[in-house]
Amino acid sequence: MRVKLSSRDTLIVVDMQRDFMPGGALPVQEGDTIVPKLNEYIGLFSKKGLPVFFTRDWHPPDHLSFKEQGGLWPPHCVQYSEGALFHPDLLVPQDNRFIISKGTSKDFDAYSGFQGTILDNLLKERGIRRVFVGGVATDYCVRNTVLGAINLGYQAFLLLDGIKGVDVKQGDSDRAIEEMLQMGAVALELKDLG
């Protein structure tokens, strides 16, 4: 497959934050290993002058997803904490980049970069039609961002060489990939982009 990038395209890098990396509060196994590949995608999109969006969990200390509040997860990506920062090696350009914070209210959770954010408005404002999505975790925030994009009418491309999953249950990531493809996402790797 060969996909030619156009002015209607954008890259969405999902939740590449310290708390989701090995040693973090909610680690994705080998999550840090995709940083170099994501940096290649970021470099490619930036070189072409295409916007790059970075989503991040940005939770208050008493967020409903935390176990202490009856949620599923240990506290993670608390606003202004070290764990909420992007991976130190992730290339976050100063030009043409946008940071989208999600899960910012204590009573509302958001796995998708579109839930409770202005991401859709920013994409529409720029005439974006196709989104290229990578990051963590395949089976949670990547999955929901891809499905959210499809439901909002975007063509979604899943960057297979730029994702890692949690796999709370063995096979969760593979099932999530299969679901995204069945819903209309297209899987590709960096070598497929022109």
Is there a contact between 87 and 33 (Cβ–Cβ < 8 Å)? no
Buried b / exposed e along 110-134 (16+ C-beta atoms within 10 A): bbbbbbebebbeebeeeebebbbbb
Q: Which residues are catalytic?
A: 15, 102, 141
Say whether 120 sits in a helix, a strand or coil: helix
